[in-house]
Amino acid sequence: MSDITSALTMTEVKIPNHIMRLKSAQLGCRYALDGESLYSVKWYKDGHEIYRYVPRDKPPGQAFPLPGVNIDLRNSSDTQVVLKRVTLQSSGLYRCEVSGEAPAFNTVAESETMTVVVTPNHGPRITGGQPRYQIGDTVRVNCTSSPSKPACHLSWLINGEPAQKQHLKQFDKVVVNRDGLEMSRLGLEFRVRGYHFKHGDMKLKCVAKISSLYWQSNEESVESDRQQRAPALESRETVAAKSSTIGAAASRQPSHLISLLPTLLLLLGTLAGVWRWPPEGAGS
């Protein structure tokens, strides 16, 4: 008679890495008995038992109270546990443990961490920037995220390209309330070069991100100071044009006098005949 070897195995543990606050979380645990009988499926959070499924019990499913854990017994079974309206206290390390029947009581277990997310109410805020920069100026700006849990990951882009690491300044995260919500801040500092201006302006963008659940950005467009001096150049060109017009009018005056010269000579000749001196007959 040949021996029949059985091997209880865990085939899948599916726990969301991140989930939005007040949503329902579905924790999955699938296994293969391979000839064994199921004794129990147990779920733990941070080492504390929160749910147990024993087929021989009536009812088979049982929940254990723990802060941040609100189990939906109706929709929970040996292969899944549903948590209702998760809170920040629901974050933690969850473990599924499956045991076979006597005499071996073989046991397999796997764990995953779940983090409850509170997204910011507003997009990131950029401070410290100027409306215009000249080549050679130093840009010093900060990007600050709104409170969230966990804190947002921030990044800077200059004209759509990621800022170089040496131009970034990291700040410590700040806890802003009793819920543990946090604010992130990331500085950007670099010297302005000519290539930073595309068609006369430079775009600075800050991106705030939490996993795949949240993505927001804020962008400021700043001008090259050279663009602001253009009207003055136009004014000087206008004045030069007016001066050229006056000069052209003055240059036309001599030619006009030359055209009148024959008339003036004829008039002078006539006057000379009338006023000849001495008068005729004066010597007789």
Can you give the pLDDT at residue 269? 61
More confident of the two residues 206 and 212 = 206
pLDDT single digits (tens) 121-148: 999 999 999 999 999 999 999 999 999 9
The DSSP call for residue 278 is S
pLDDT reported for residue 252: 47
Q: Is the pLDDT of residue 268 over 90?
A: no
Let me know if 78 is exposed, middle or buried by CB neighbors in 10 A (0-12, 13-18, 19+): middle
Condensed to tens digits (0 to 9), the pLDDT of residues 150-173 reads: 999 999 999 999 999 999 999 999
- 91-107 residue pLDDT tens: 999 999 999 998 878 99
User: Is this structure's pTM higher than 0.85?
Assistant: no
* In contact, 138 and 189? CB cutoff 8 Å: yes
pLDDT tier for residue 60 given thresholds of 50, 70 and 90? very high
Buried b / exposed e along 201-211 (16+ C-beta atoms within 10 A): ebebbbbbbbe
Domains and CATH numbers, the chain: 9-117 (2.60.40.10), 125-227 (2.60.40.10)
Question: What number is the average pLDDT over the span 84-96?
Answer: 97
CA 35 to chain centre: 54
